[in-house]
Every structure is written in C-alpha cells, then in structure tokens.
Amino acid sequence: MAQAATDLEGFRLWPGFLSRAEQEALRDDVFARMRGGPLYIPRMPKSGQPMRVRMTNFGPLGWVTDKEQGYRYQATHPDTGKPWPEMPPRVLELWSELSGYSAPPEACLVNLYESDARMGLHIDADEAAWDAPVLSISLGDTALFRIGGPVRSDPTRSVRLASGDVCLLGGASRRFYHGVDRILPGTSRLLPKGGRINLTVRRVTPP
C-alpha cells in the first residue's frame, strides 16, 4: 500500500494518489453516471435553506437531505425516484486498497463545489456502521479543508485537498468536526467549468 503523508488519529492523506490520466478517467466516468442521477440542490432540515453544494450519489444507498425529512440515506434519487447509478469500479477498487474495511462501501456521495461554495463544520453521524472509515477523493480545484476534534470548539487545522488527492478518515478522526472553508478557483483544469468534485465513500449499515 502507498505510504500516507500524514497520520493523525486515523486521518491519512495520500497527495496525488491518482495520476492525471486516472483523474480524467474518473471524471469522465462520474459525468457519464450523473446522466442517470443528476445533481440536485439539497436543503437543510426544518429551515429548508438550500445548501451551497450540489449533490448526487452512486451505489445502493445515497445521503440526502430535505426540509421535511432531514438527513438520511435512501436507495432512490429524490427528484427522479430512480435507484442511484452504480458506483464507479475505480471507487470500489480504491476502497478495497485503502480502507482496510472488509465489507464493500454502500454510498458514494458526489459533492459539486462551484467556486463560491463551502461546507460548514459538521460531524458525519448518519451511518450505523460507526467502525467503518470514510474515503474521500478530490477532483478539480483545490479545497481548503478544515478538521478539528470531537468537540466543535476543539482546535482545528487546515489541509489543502488538491485534484487526485485521496484521504481516509478512520479511527478517532471519523467522528471529528470538519468542513470546507473555500475552493481556490483556477487551481486545476480537470473540470471544464472549474470547481471541485468530492467523492465521499462510506459504509452505511453494519455488515
């Protein structure tokens, strides 16, 4: 296995894990699959406030949120009612190679950040499979990612996630607060309209 550059309470980052050619192939695969499961605008529970990130999912389960029912996983696209497209084979391979988890992932959340998008500090808490790590794959413009600790007021550190970087959130870091402060426009030419795609790969149900 490739050597991770950092190892902090289960947070590991592999900068440039995907070559440019692999990034292009994954980008093309993601865009092709999105034709069967288009991006939609997620809404915050209760307030119905639109999130700044557009989303879709691949795999048997997808993470969704709306005003009425809030955060959850479901097997179908909220707008089309169809099952999510299958997970890209390369994503399944990366999970087997890097996650150290014996069961396959069930959800690949696709987050699209335009240049002004960000994601506030939060904890991922909607997965019953608490022991499973989360794998993240970055494509396109660099993100300033922030990660803290298990309490919102814990000190945080900033990490740049560039195109082709892969990171794994295992161990204690799986329950740490994290978010995306901003996107650095013009830092990659991978996506034709700029911006960033993050693939967040998760096991949802205990195997």
- What, of Fe ion, ligand MD3, none, does residue 111 touch, CB below 5 to 8 Å by kind? ligand MD3
What DSSP line would sit under 101-168, residue for residue?
A: -SSPP-EEEEEEE-TT--EEEE-----S-TTS-EEEEEEESEEEEEE--SSTTS--EEEEE-TT-EEE
Could you tell me the smallest distance in angstroms from the CB atom of residue 207 to ligand MD3? 19
Interatomic CA distance for residues 1 and 142, integer angstroms: 25
Could you tell me the smallest distance in angstroms from the CB atom of residue 4 to ligand MD3? 14
Q: How many helices (H) and strands (E) would you count in the chain?
A: 2, 13
Subset of 113-142 contacting Fe ion (CB under 5 A):
124
Out of 94, 108, 112, 134, the only residue in the binding site for ligand MD3 (CB under 6 A) is 134
Determine, following the binding rule CB under 6 A, whether residue 191 of this chain makes contact with ligand MD3.
Answer: no
Subset of 43-102 contacting ligand MD3 (CB under 6 A):
none
Q: Name the residue whose CB lies closest to Fe ion.
A: 124
Could you tell me the smallest distance in angstroms from the CB atom of residue 122 to Fe ion? 6
